[in-house]
Amino acid sequence: MRWNNYEAYIEIVPPKEFSFDECLIYLNRSDLEVLHRIKGDAIYKVIHGVLCSVIWANHCIKVEFLIENPTITQREKVAQYIWEWFDLAQNLEAFYQLAIQDAVLQPLVEKYYGLRVVGVPDLFEALVWAISGQQINLTFAYTLKKRLIEQFGECVLFEEESFWQFPKVEKIAVLCVEDLKQLQFTTRKAEYIIHIAQEIMNGKLSKAQLLKMQNVEKALTEIRGIGAWTANYVMMRCLHQRTAFPITDVGLHNALKELLNLESKPTINEIEAYAVNWQGWQAYATFYLWRSLYGEKI
Protein backbone atom coordinates (compact mmCIF):
# COMPACT_ATOMS: atom_id res chain seq x y z
CA MET A 1 0.00 0.00 0.00
CA ARG A 2 1.35 3.41 -1.00
CA TRP A 3 0.10 6.46 0.85
CA ASN A 4 1.32 9.90 1.86
CA ASN A 5 0.57 11.58 5.17
CA TYR A 6 -0.16 15.29 5.51
CA GLU A 7 -1.56 17.34 8.38
CA ALA A 8 -5.21 17.60 7.31
CA TYR A 9 -5.39 14.72 4.82
CA ILE A 10 -3.73 11.65 3.38
CA GLU A 11 -3.15 10.61 -0.22
CA ILE A 12 -3.43 7.02 -1.41
CA VAL A 13 -1.61 6.14 -4.61
CA PRO A 14 -3.63 3.54 -6.56
CA PRO A 15 -2.40 1.22 -9.31
CA LYS A 16 -2.67 2.49 -12.88
CA GLU A 17 -5.79 0.42 -13.68
CA PHE A 18 -8.10 2.40 -11.43
CA SER A 19 -11.05 4.64 -12.17
CA PHE A 20 -12.38 6.63 -9.21
CA ASP A 21 -15.33 7.78 -11.34
CA GLU A 22 -16.39 4.21 -12.11
CA CYS A 23 -16.24 3.23 -8.45
CA LEU A 24 -18.24 6.37 -7.61
CA ILE A 25 -21.00 5.35 -10.02
CA TYR A 26 -21.27 1.96 -8.34
CA LEU A 27 -21.39 3.53 -4.87
CA ASN A 28 -24.11 5.91 -6.00
CA ARG A 29 -26.51 3.21 -7.18
CA SER A 30 -29.12 3.68 -4.42
CA ASP A 31 -30.65 6.72 -2.74
CA LEU A 32 -31.32 4.54 0.31
CA GLU A 33 -27.62 4.02 1.11
CA VAL A 34 -26.74 5.51 4.51
CA LEU A 35 -23.20 4.26 5.13
CA HIS A 36 -21.77 6.83 2.75
CA ARG A 37 -23.03 9.95 1.06
CA ILE A 38 -21.98 11.29 -2.32
CA LYS A 39 -21.94 15.02 -2.94
CA GLY A 40 -20.62 16.04 -6.32
CA ASP A 41 -17.37 14.14 -6.80
CA ALA A 42 -16.79 13.44 -3.11
CA ILE A 43 -17.69 10.47 -0.92
CA TYR A 44 -18.43 11.25 2.72
CA LYS A 45 -17.98 8.27 5.02
CA VAL A 46 -17.16 7.46 8.63
CA ILE A 47 -14.19 5.09 8.59
CA HIS A 48 -13.04 3.64 11.89
CA GLY A 49 -14.85 6.44 13.70
CA VAL A 50 -13.29 9.20 11.57
CA LEU A 51 -15.49 11.27 9.23
CA CYS A 52 -13.72 11.49 5.89
CA SER A 53 -14.22 13.18 2.55
CA VAL A 54 -12.79 11.02 -0.25
CA ILE A 55 -12.04 12.64 -3.61
CA TRP A 56 -9.83 12.15 -6.66
CA ALA A 57 -7.07 14.73 -6.97
CA ASN A 58 -3.68 14.77 -8.72
CA HIS A 59 -3.91 11.09 -9.69
CA CYS A 60 -4.41 10.09 -6.05
CA ILE A 61 -7.27 9.27 -3.71
CA LYS A 62 -7.29 12.23 -1.34
CA VAL A 63 -8.85 11.65 2.07
CA GLU A 64 -9.63 14.77 4.10
CA PHE A 65 -10.49 14.62 7.81
CA LEU A 66 -13.52 16.79 8.49
CA ILE A 67 -13.84 16.94 12.28
CA GLU A 68 -10.70 15.82 14.03
CA ASN A 69 -7.02 15.42 13.37
CA PRO A 70 -6.57 11.63 13.60
CA THR A 71 -3.59 9.88 15.11
CA ILE A 72 -1.10 8.14 12.86
CA THR A 73 -2.67 4.80 13.83
CA GLN A 74 -6.13 6.01 12.81
CA ARG A 75 -4.74 7.35 9.54
CA GLU A 76 -3.15 3.99 8.79
CA LYS A 77 -6.46 2.25 9.48
CA VAL A 78 -8.32 4.66 7.20
CA ALA A 79 -5.76 4.16 4.43
CA GLN A 80 -5.91 0.38 4.80
CA TYR A 81 -9.71 0.43 4.73
CA ILE A 82 -9.80 2.42 1.48
CA TRP A 83 -7.09 0.25 -0.05
CA GLU A 84 -9.29 -2.77 0.62
CA TRP A 85 -12.58 -1.00 -0.14
CA PHE A 86 -11.42 -0.37 -3.73
CA ASP A 87 -9.49 -3.66 -4.01
CA LEU A 88 -6.30 -1.78 -4.85
CA ALA A 89 -4.01 -4.71 -4.07
CA GLN A 90 -5.38 -6.56 -7.09
CA ASN A 91 -3.25 -6.52 -10.25
CA LEU A 92 -5.80 -6.38 -13.07
CA GLU A 93 -3.43 -6.86 -16.03
CA ALA A 94 -4.19 -10.58 -16.31
CA PHE A 95 -7.92 -9.95 -16.07
CA TYR A 96 -7.84 -7.41 -18.88
CA GLN A 97 -5.74 -9.71 -21.07
CA LEU A 98 -8.33 -12.45 -20.53
CA ALA A 99 -11.32 -10.15 -20.96
CA ILE A 100 -10.34 -8.56 -24.26
CA GLN A 101 -10.38 -12.03 -25.81
CA ASP A 102 -13.81 -12.89 -24.44
CA ALA A 103 -16.93 -12.00 -26.41
CA VAL A 104 -18.99 -11.21 -23.31
CA LEU A 105 -16.43 -9.22 -21.34
CA GLN A 106 -14.58 -7.40 -24.11
CA PRO A 107 -17.04 -4.50 -24.53
CA LEU A 108 -17.44 -4.17 -20.76
CA VAL A 109 -13.76 -3.82 -19.92
CA GLU A 110 -13.34 -1.22 -22.64
CA LYS A 111 -16.32 0.76 -21.36
CA TYR A 112 -15.63 0.47 -17.63
CA TYR A 113 -11.84 0.28 -17.61
CA GLY A 114 -10.45 0.86 -14.14
CA LEU A 115 -13.51 -0.36 -12.27
CA ARG A 116 -12.60 -2.54 -9.30
CA VAL A 117 -14.68 -4.80 -7.11
CA VAL A 118 -15.91 -2.27 -4.57
CA GLY A 119 -15.73 -4.23 -1.37
CA VAL A 120 -17.33 -4.45 2.05
CA PRO A 121 -14.21 -4.78 4.20
CA ASP A 122 -16.02 -5.62 7.45
CA LEU A 123 -17.07 -9.29 7.58
CA PHE A 124 -20.12 -8.75 9.79
CA GLU A 125 -21.43 -5.97 7.56
CA ALA A 126 -20.85 -8.10 4.44
CA LEU A 127 -22.67 -11.09 5.92
CA VAL A 128 -25.61 -9.02 7.16
CA TRP A 129 -25.93 -7.29 3.79
CA ALA A 130 -25.84 -10.58 1.90
CA ILE A 131 -28.37 -12.26 4.20
CA SER A 132 -30.65 -9.21 4.11
CA GLY A 133 -30.71 -9.35 0.33
CA GLN A 134 -31.65 -13.02 0.04
CA GLN A 135 -34.72 -13.55 -2.18
CA ILE A 136 -35.85 -9.91 -2.19
CA ASN A 137 -35.30 -7.02 -4.59
CA LEU A 138 -32.42 -4.60 -4.15
CA THR A 139 -34.61 -1.69 -3.08
CA PHE A 140 -36.14 -3.59 -0.18
CA ALA A 141 -32.70 -4.92 0.80
CA TYR A 142 -31.48 -1.32 1.06
CA THR A 143 -34.59 -0.43 3.06
CA LEU A 144 -33.86 -3.18 5.60
CA LYS A 145 -30.23 -2.15 5.83
CA LYS A 146 -31.18 1.50 6.39
CA ARG A 147 -33.62 0.58 9.17
CA LEU A 148 -31.04 -1.65 10.88
CA ILE A 149 -28.34 1.03 10.78
CA GLU A 150 -30.55 3.88 11.94
CA GLN A 151 -32.01 1.76 14.74
CA PHE A 152 -28.84 0.17 16.09
CA GLY A 153 -25.88 2.02 14.56
CA GLU A 154 -24.05 5.12 15.75
CA CYS A 155 -23.72 8.36 13.85
CA VAL A 156 -21.34 11.29 13.60
CA LEU A 157 -22.92 14.74 13.33
CA PHE A 158 -21.35 17.26 10.97
CA GLU A 159 -22.92 20.46 9.67
CA GLU A 160 -26.36 19.33 10.86
CA GLU A 161 -26.13 16.02 8.99
CA SER A 162 -25.87 12.49 10.37
CA PHE A 163 -23.21 10.16 9.01
CA TRP A 164 -23.90 6.60 10.05
CA GLN A 165 -21.72 3.66 11.02
CA PHE A 166 -22.74 0.03 10.75
CA PRO A 167 -24.02 -1.45 14.05
CA LYS A 168 -21.39 -3.11 16.19
CA VAL A 169 -21.42 -6.88 16.54
CA GLU A 170 -21.86 -6.57 20.31
CA LYS A 171 -25.07 -4.61 19.91
CA ILE A 172 -26.69 -7.05 17.47
CA ALA A 173 -25.55 -10.15 19.36
CA VAL A 174 -27.74 -9.34 22.38
CA LEU A 175 -30.92 -8.61 20.40
CA CYS A 176 -33.90 -10.92 20.25
CA VAL A 177 -35.58 -11.98 17.02
CA GLU A 178 -38.54 -9.66 17.62
CA ASP A 179 -36.20 -6.64 17.61
CA LEU A 180 -35.34 -7.31 13.96
CA LYS A 181 -38.79 -8.50 12.95
CA GLN A 182 -40.08 -5.04 13.90
CA LEU A 183 -37.88 -3.73 11.08
CA GLN A 184 -39.49 -6.26 8.69
CA PHE A 185 -36.71 -8.83 8.72
CA THR A 186 -38.17 -12.32 8.46
CA THR A 187 -37.89 -14.60 11.47
CA ARG A 188 -35.25 -16.69 9.73
CA LYS A 189 -33.12 -13.72 8.65
CA ALA A 190 -33.34 -12.25 12.15
CA GLU A 191 -32.17 -15.57 13.62
CA TYR A 192 -29.31 -15.86 11.14
CA ILE A 193 -28.04 -12.31 11.73
CA ILE A 194 -28.13 -12.56 15.52
CA HIS A 195 -26.45 -15.98 15.43
CA ILE A 196 -23.65 -14.69 13.19
CA ALA A 197 -23.12 -11.70 15.49
CA GLN A 198 -22.80 -14.09 18.43
CA GLU A 199 -20.35 -16.33 16.54
CA ILE A 200 -18.15 -13.34 15.69
CA MET A 201 -18.33 -11.92 19.21
CA ASN A 202 -17.36 -15.31 20.69
CA GLY A 203 -14.37 -15.60 18.35
CA LYS A 204 -15.76 -18.59 16.46
CA LEU A 205 -15.94 -16.68 13.17
CA SER A 206 -13.56 -14.03 11.84
CA LYS A 207 -12.23 -12.67 8.60
CA ALA A 208 -8.68 -13.67 9.54
CA GLN A 209 -9.78 -17.27 10.11
CA LEU A 210 -11.61 -17.46 6.80
CA LEU A 211 -8.68 -16.05 4.84
CA LYS A 212 -6.48 -18.89 6.11
CA MET A 213 -8.88 -21.62 4.99
CA GLN A 214 -8.50 -23.63 1.81
CA ASN A 215 -12.24 -24.12 1.28
CA VAL A 216 -13.87 -20.89 2.38
CA GLU A 217 -17.18 -21.65 0.67
CA LYS A 218 -17.55 -24.89 2.64
CA ALA A 219 -16.77 -23.12 5.91
CA LEU A 220 -19.30 -20.38 5.24
CA THR A 221 -22.10 -22.65 4.06
CA GLU A 222 -21.83 -24.62 7.30
CA ILE A 223 -23.18 -21.52 9.07
CA ARG A 224 -26.96 -21.31 9.42
CA GLY A 225 -28.47 -19.02 6.83
CA ILE A 226 -25.54 -19.05 4.43
CA GLY A 227 -25.99 -20.85 1.14
CA ALA A 228 -23.79 -20.93 -1.93
CA TRP A 229 -24.91 -17.51 -3.24
CA THR A 230 -24.35 -15.76 0.10
CA ALA A 231 -20.98 -17.44 0.59
CA ASN A 232 -19.73 -16.48 -2.86
CA TYR A 233 -21.04 -12.93 -2.50
CA VAL A 234 -19.09 -12.51 0.76
CA MET A 235 -16.01 -14.21 -0.71
CA MET A 236 -16.17 -11.78 -3.60
CA ARG A 237 -16.88 -8.49 -1.81
CA CYS A 238 -15.26 -9.00 1.58
CA LEU A 239 -12.53 -11.59 1.11
CA HIS A 240 -11.58 -10.45 -2.42
CA GLN A 241 -11.37 -13.97 -3.79
CA ARG A 242 -11.17 -13.70 -7.56
CA THR A 243 -12.71 -17.13 -8.17
CA ALA A 244 -15.86 -16.38 -6.16
CA PHE A 245 -18.83 -16.80 -8.48
CA PRO A 246 -22.42 -16.14 -7.30
CA ILE A 247 -23.72 -17.94 -10.36
CA THR A 248 -27.37 -17.91 -9.27
CA ASP A 249 -27.39 -14.11 -8.82
CA VAL A 250 -30.40 -12.43 -10.41
CA GLY A 251 -28.41 -9.34 -11.36
CA LEU A 252 -25.86 -11.49 -13.18
CA HIS A 253 -28.66 -13.21 -15.10
CA ASN A 254 -30.31 -9.90 -16.01
CA ALA A 255 -27.02 -8.41 -17.15
CA LEU A 256 -26.27 -11.34 -19.46
CA LYS A 257 -29.80 -11.31 -20.87
CA GLU A 258 -29.58 -7.59 -21.65
CA LEU A 259 -26.01 -7.58 -22.90
CA LEU A 260 -26.49 -10.55 -25.22
CA ASN A 261 -30.05 -9.63 -26.29
CA LEU A 262 -31.41 -12.97 -25.11
CA GLU A 263 -35.13 -13.69 -25.18
CA SER A 264 -35.02 -15.05 -21.63
CA LYS A 265 -32.58 -15.21 -18.76
CA PRO A 266 -29.77 -17.72 -19.32
CA THR A 267 -29.83 -21.06 -17.53
CA ILE A 268 -27.08 -22.07 -15.10
CA ASN A 269 -25.65 -24.39 -17.76
CA GLU A 270 -25.56 -21.54 -20.26
CA ILE A 271 -23.84 -19.24 -17.75
CA GLU A 272 -21.27 -21.95 -17.05
CA ALA A 273 -20.60 -22.11 -20.80
CA TYR A 274 -20.13 -18.33 -21.01
CA ALA A 275 -17.81 -18.49 -18.00
CA VAL A 276 -15.44 -21.11 -19.34
CA ASN A 277 -12.96 -18.39 -20.26
CA TRP A 278 -13.33 -16.51 -16.95
CA GLN A 279 -11.39 -19.00 -14.86
CA GLY A 280 -9.51 -17.27 -12.06
CA TRP A 281 -11.47 -14.04 -12.54
CA GLN A 282 -15.12 -15.00 -12.09
CA ALA A 283 -15.63 -12.34 -9.41
CA TYR A 284 -14.43 -9.55 -11.69
CA ALA A 285 -16.45 -10.86 -14.62
CA THR A 286 -19.54 -10.79 -12.38
CA PHE A 287 -18.82 -7.30 -11.10
CA TYR A 288 -18.37 -5.88 -14.59
CA LEU A 289 -21.63 -7.49 -15.65
CA TRP A 290 -23.35 -5.93 -12.63
CA ARG A 291 -21.90 -2.57 -13.63
CA SER A 292 -23.60 -2.81 -17.01
CA LEU A 293 -26.96 -2.60 -15.25
CA TYR A 294 -26.34 0.91 -13.88
CA GLY A 295 -26.48 4.27 -15.61
CA GLU A 296 -23.57 6.11 -17.11
CA LYS A 297 -23.69 9.22 -14.96
CA ILE A 298 -23.65 9.97 -11.27
Residues designated catalytic = 249
Handedness of CA 90, 91, 96, 97 (dihedral sign): negative
Cα–Cα nearest to 221, from 256, 184, 246 = 246
What's the CA gap between 202 and 223, in Å, rounded? 14
Report residue 255 CA to chain centroid gap: 18
For the chain, the DSSP string reads --EEE-SSEEEE---SS--HHHHHHHHTS-TT--S-EEETTEEEEEETTEEEEEEEETTEEEEEESS----HHHHHHHHHHHHHHTTTT---HHHHHHHTTSTTTHHHHHHSTT-------SHHHHHHHHHHTTTS-HHHHHHHHHHHHHHH-EEEEETTEEEEEPPPHHHHHT--HHHHHTTT--HHHHHHHHHHHHHHHTTS--HHHHHH-S-HHHHHHTSTT--HHHHHHHHHHTS--TT---TT-HHHHHHHHHHTT-SSPPPHHHHHHHGGGGTT-HHHHHHHHHHTTS-S--
